């Protein structure tokens, strides 16, 4: 069965973005929460390249990408606090990230990565700490497709909103 999943994953990776989006559509219509439907095809075409390498079954897609469609994501606020950080440093990281992302002229993944790497360095945080906090705040997950590409697709408005919500959730969780 493991080999079949691997082979199916290979097949999926060989599909064009358009073909994979077309094949995913019925699974998303069936498996995404009804309030997130209908799925915008152009938006889905931006998501597909981010999940293509990770997906082994078409039926996995809805669970894997729900956060792209939600206004807010759910998680345990404790998940925001990475190893070696505390609540105070996590709140500072979230606020700085929000300020930096508000200031970038173009909300594009390479610019976001460069800007946020520099911001993390100014805070004295390792990339895995800073980006781990941001990943949970933006997606509600600890493992996702590439973070900066994900942020670009989710969009500035929703990312900034989720970072603000993360600060509120973390500061009110005590």
Rounded to whole angstroms, the Cα distance separating 164 from 138 reads: 10
Percent of the chain with pLDDT over 90: 93
Q: Nearest to residue 77, comparing CAs of 127, 136, 128?
A: 136
pLDDT of residue 141: 96
Please indicate whether residue 5 or residue 141 has the higher confidence score (pLDDT): 141
User: Which residue in this structure is represented by tokens 């075409």?
Assistant: 45
One domain, residues 91 and 130: yes
Average pLDDT, the chain: 96
One domain, residues 107 and 144: yes
Average pLDDT over residues 116-145: 97
Domain that residue 135 falls in: 77-171
Rounded to whole angstroms, the Cα distance separating 160 from 158 reads: 5
Counted domains in the chain: 2
- Whether 91 shows a pLDDT value over 70: the answer reads yes
- Whether 29 shows a pLDDT value over 70: the answer reads yes
Q: Nearest to residue 102, comparing CAs of 145, 139, 171, 94?
A: 94
- Whether 74 shows a pLDDT value over 80: the answer reads yes
One domain, residues 92 and 137: yes
Percent of the chain with pLDDT over 70: 99
pLDDT of residue 174: 61
Average pLDDT over residues 14-33: 96
State which of 36, 69, 102 marks the end of a domain: 69
One domain, residues 47 and 118: no
Of the pLDDT bands very low, low, confident and very high (cuts 50, 70, 90), residue 173 is: low
- Whether 2 shows a pLDDT value over 90: the answer reads no
């Amino acid at each position: 069965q493991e080999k079949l999943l691997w082979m199916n994953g290979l097949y999926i990776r060989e599909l064009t973005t358009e073909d994979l989006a077309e094949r995913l559509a019925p699974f998303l219509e069936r498996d995404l929460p009804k309030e997130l439907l209908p799925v915008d095809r152009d938006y889905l075409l931006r998501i597909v390249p981010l999940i293509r390498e990770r997906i082994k079954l078409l039926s996995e897609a809805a669970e894997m990408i729900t956060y792209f469609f939600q206004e807010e994501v759910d998680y345990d606020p404790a998940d925001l606090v990475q190893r070696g950080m505390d609540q105070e440093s996590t709140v500072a990281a979230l606020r700085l990230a929000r300020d930096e992302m508000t200031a970038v002229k173009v909300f594009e993944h390479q610019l976001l990565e460069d800007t946020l790497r520099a911001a993390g360095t100014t805070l004295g945080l390792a990339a895995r700490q800073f980006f781990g906090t941001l990943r949970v705040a933006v997606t509600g997950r600890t493992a996702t497709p590439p973070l900066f590409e994900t942020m670009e697709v989710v969009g500035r408005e929703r990312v900034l909103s989720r970072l603000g919500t993360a600060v509120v959730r973390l500061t009110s969780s005590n």
